[in-house]
Amino acid sequence: MSKKQTKFFDSIFSGSYATKPFYVEGEAVPRATGTVDITKLNFWVDNPRVYDEVHNSDSPKDEISNAHIYKNLINYKDAISLRAKIIKAGGIHTDVVAAVDEETNKLTVFEGNTRLAVAMDLFKKEGPKWKKIPASVLYLGDHSNELVVRYVGDVHLEDEKNKWGSHNGARYYWREVKKELELFTPLTKTDVALSKACKAVSDRFSSKITKGVVEKNYNLIEFMELHKMGIKKQSEQYNYWKEYFTIGKLQKVREDFNDVDKKAKEENEFDKMMVQKVNKGKETREVERLSAAGEHSFRKDLNNISNFYDAFPKEGEKLIYKLLDGMRLDEASKAAVEGGASDRDYKMIKDFHTKLFNSDRKKLRAAVKKHGDSLLDMVVDIQARLKLTHADLKTEYKKIKKRKGK
């Protein structure tokens, strides 16, 4: 370890400390571990957990105070539950990860901000016992903050137990892509630019954070921003719109009924209608909840409607126009189910019926010349199978009617 590094670590740790390299994707960074006085530590001003609350003020980044960030962090439910765990454990036993922030020139905690907030709170209320916490301090030297941020991002965006929160994580991706897009001129801000920007962000992290993951999160937040949802509303509705972008067949509905050159009466007609319905709240349920009475969840409603449109385009189109004209989401879902949205066997028979009655008899006669006995044998097999199927269905239907009559 160089004299410069030793001097740096001596100025931070009040007692003895151990040195061991810190590896980020194979890159070694000088590190020392020990206990650090919390008064020497600063919160990360770009912490995704509280980024929007902290940056709502007009203050420059280097003027955002520790007190302001502390106030926002300490009231989070994660901080409240963590406080109880720390007290029960008799202290903080996991290192925070700190380094000098090149933008603010302050010793900054990049990983463990909630732990620091809890320690500050306990120190304020219970005294000196909580003044020092375990820390891994990195000497970045010629490295930029990006190296630490990459590590922190990998921890929080990949590990289910250490999420910043799904909405906060998505907004983090969105902000980073926006920064990359600023490198392009207005004339070059195309889909290609977006693809490159998402790739640039994904390249900062491990292979699990793909360009697709970044782009999906960017599009989700961009959608909410486009529809003028504030941070609070975004947080409240995040799960709805996450589901909205996850349902594969729904994207075809959106494509057709948002485009005036296809089936929409105005640009983004379907999306605008859905935003109104979610805002009203009366027509939707909690995404994860499906009541004992069988009420459809938001996801199930949208699945039924989009499956119906996929299976029966003409009938599905009529149903979606009714939805656009004010039909309730659960009513449309019910109509889709009754129309056969979730019944593959019904769809199979209906498709066969449609194709058979729309078939060109001249072409069939031409086919028999080519395939002869093979085609005739298949028709005989179909006829026999249909006879059996009809008998089975007729018997089952009589039983259903009998049960209903009791």
pLDDT in tens, 13-57: 978 999 999 887 777 889 999 999 999 999 998 888 888 877 775
Tokens of 128: 């000196």
Residue 104's pLDDT is 80
pLDDT, average across residues 261-285 = 86
Tokens of 262: 């296809």
Give CA–CA dist 44/62, Å, rounded. 11
Give CA–CA dist 186/109, Å, rounded. 36
pLDDT higher at 70 or 146: 70
Residue 226's pLDDT is 94
Q: How far is C-alpha 210 from the chain's CA centre?
A: 13
Residue 346's pLDDT is 66
Gyration radius from the chain CA atoms = 30
241: pLDDT strictly greater than 60: yes
CB 278 within 8 A of CB 284: yes
Q: How many residues does the chain have?
A: 406
Give CA–CA dist 114/116, Å, rounded. 5
Instruction: Give the confidence band of 62 by pLDDT, cuts at 50, 70, 90.
Output: low
Give CA–CA dist 87/289, Å, rounded. 34
pLDDT, average across residues 232-241 = 89
Angle between the 329-338 and 313-324 helix axes, to the nearest 10 degrees? Answer: 160
Exposure of 164 by Cβ count < 10 A (0-12 exposed, 13-18 middle, 19+ buried)? Answer: buried
293: pLDDT strictly greater than 90: no
pLDDT, average across residues 317-344 = 89
Closest of 391, 311, 387 to residue 354, by C-alpha: 311
302: pLDDT strictly greater than 60: yes
364: pLDDT strictly greater than 60: yes
Of 48-52, 56-60, 267-271, which gets the smallest average pLDDT? 56-60
- Beta strand 22-24 pairing with 107-111: unpaired
Closest of 133, 127, 36 to residue 89, by C-alpha: 133
Give CA–CA dist 9/138, Å, rounded. 9
pLDDT, average across residues 229-235 = 89
Question: Where does 59-218 show beta strands of DSSP type E?
Answer: 96-100, 107-111, 132-138
pLDDT, average across residues 380-398 = 85
Q: Nearest 5°: phi and psi at 289?
A: -90, 135
Q: Nearest 5°: phi and psi at 84?
A: -65, -40
Instruction: Give the confidence band of 190 by pLDDT, cuts at 50, 70, 90.
Output: confident
Residue 288's pLDDT is 42
Number of C-alpha atoms within 13 angstroms, CB side, residue 313? Answer: 5
Instruction: Give the confidence band of 270 by pLDDT, cuts at 50, 70, 90.
Output: very high
Of 109-123, 142-156, 266-280, 344-358, which gets the smallest average pLDDT? 344-358
pLDDT higher at 270 or 164: 270
Instruction: Give the confidence band of 159 by pLDDT, cuts at 50, 70, 90.
Output: low
DSSP string computed for 194-260: HHHHHHHHHTTS-TTS-HHHHHHHHHHHHHHHHTT--HHHHHHHHHHHHHHHH-TTHHHHHHHHS-T
Domain ranges across the chain:
3-163, 165-237, 247-358, 360-405
pLDDT, average across residues 298-315 = 90
